[in-house]
C-alpha cells in the first residue's frame, strides 16, 4: 500500500509538472514596443515619462533623457508622399541640436499601410536614403485604441489626432505642448522654424 501510495504521489507530481510546462510554452509572448515607467529624474516632465524601444537595436530608451530639450515629435512612414520630409527633419536636427533641439521619429503603419517593413528595413531605409541620425523608435500605432502612450498624451493635451504621416508636435523645454502641425507643414516652413527658435530661446 505504501508503495502504491508513493507511486500515486510521483505520478500526480509528474502530471502537474507537465501541465505547468505546457502552459508556459503556450503562453503568448508580450514584447511590448512601449512601456510606461516611473521617471527617476524629478525634473522630467510628465509628457516624457515613457520608455520606448529604439528602432535600430530594440534597446529601451527612457524619454526622460530628453528633459530640458525642445522636442519635435513626428510619426513617419517610408512609402508616403511626405517621406521626403526626412531630409528636412534631419537638416533641422543638424542645425539646432547644439542649441537643444531633438527630433523624435515614430514609424507607424496606421495610414495607408505605408510603413510595412521590419525595424531593420525601416532603419536602413532612413539612414541610407536620407542620412537620418535623429532618434527613432520601434514601429507603433499613433491613433485609436492602439496608440502608443506618448501619442495618447499628446492627443489629449492638444485635442489633435494625427490625420496622416508626418504630423508634428512641438514640446518646449518644460514639457509644454507649443503647437501641432499638419503633414503639409514642411520642416523648413517659416511657422515651424519660428516656433522652434522661440522655444529654444526660452
Res 28: pLDDT: 31
Question: Which residues have C-beta within 8 Å of that of residue 16, sequence separation ≥ 6?
Answer: none
Per-residue pLDDT of the chain (202 residues; tens, 9 = 90+): 444 444 444 444 444 433 433 333 333 332 345 555 544 568 899 999 999 999 999 999 999 999 999 999 999 999 999 999 999 999 999 999 999 999 999 999 999 999 999 999 999 999 999 999 999 999 999 999 999 999 999 999 999 999 999 999 999 999 999 999 999 999 999 999 999 999 999 9
Domains of the chain: 34-201 (3.40.30.10)
Res 41: pLDDT: 67
Tell me the backbone φ, ψ of residue 136, rounded to 5 degrees: -135, 155
Res 150: pLDDT: 98
Under 8 Å between Cβ of 117 and 78: yes
Question: Which residues have C-beta within 8 Å of that of residue 105, sequence separation ≥ 6?
Answer: 55, 74, 75, 76, 89, 126, 132, 134, 135, 136, 137
Active site (catalytic) residues:
80
Under 8 Å between Cβ of 132 and 90: yes
Res 165: pLDDT: 98
Res 26: pLDDT: 34
Task: Output the CA angle 144-146-147, nearest 5 degrees.
Answer: 70
Sign of torsion, CA 51 52 54 60? positive
Res 174: pLDDT: 97
pTM: 0.82
Sign of torsion, CA 79 172 162 38? positive
Taking each continuous run of H as one helix and of E as one strand, the counts in the chain are: 5, 7
Under 8 Å between Cβ of 85 and 181: no
Q: Which helix (H) or strand (E) holds 178?
A: strand 177-181
Amino acid at each position: 500500500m505504501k508503495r502504491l501510495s508513493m507511486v500515486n504521489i510521483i505520478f500526480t507530481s509528474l502530471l502537474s509538472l507537465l501541465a505547468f510546462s505546457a502552459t508556459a510554452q503556450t503562453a503568448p509572448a508580450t514584447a511590448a514596443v512601449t512601456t510606461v515607467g516611473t521617471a527617476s529624474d524629478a525634473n522630467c516632465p510628465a509628457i516624457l515619462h515613457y520608455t520606448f524601444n529604439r528602432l535600430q537595436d530594440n534597446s529601451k530608451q527612457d524619454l526622460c533623457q530628453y528633459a530640458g530639450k525642445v522636442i519635435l515629435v513626428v510619426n513617419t512612414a517610408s512609402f508616403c508622399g511626405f517621406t521626403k520630409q526626412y531630409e528636412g527633419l534631419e537638416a533641422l536636427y543638424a542645425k539646432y541640436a547644439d542649441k537643444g533641439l531633438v527630433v523624435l521619429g515614430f514609424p507607424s503603419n496606421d495610414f495607408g499601410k505605408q510603413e510595412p517593413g521590419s525595424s531593420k528595413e525601416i532603419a536602413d531605409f532612413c539612414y541610407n536614403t536620407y542620412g537620418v541620425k535623429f532618434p527613432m523608435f520601434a514601429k507603433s500605432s499613433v491613433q485609436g485604441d492602439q496608440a502608443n502612450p506618448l501619442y495618447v498624451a499628446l492627443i489629449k493635451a492638444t485635442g489633435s489626432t494625427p490625420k496622416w504621416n508626418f504630423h508634428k508636435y512641438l514640446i518646449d523645454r518644460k514639457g509644454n505642448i507649443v503647437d501641432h502641425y499638419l503633414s503639409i507643414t514642411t520642416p523648413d516652413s517659416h511657422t515651424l522654424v519660428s516656433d522652434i527658435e522661440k522655444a529654444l530661446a526660452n
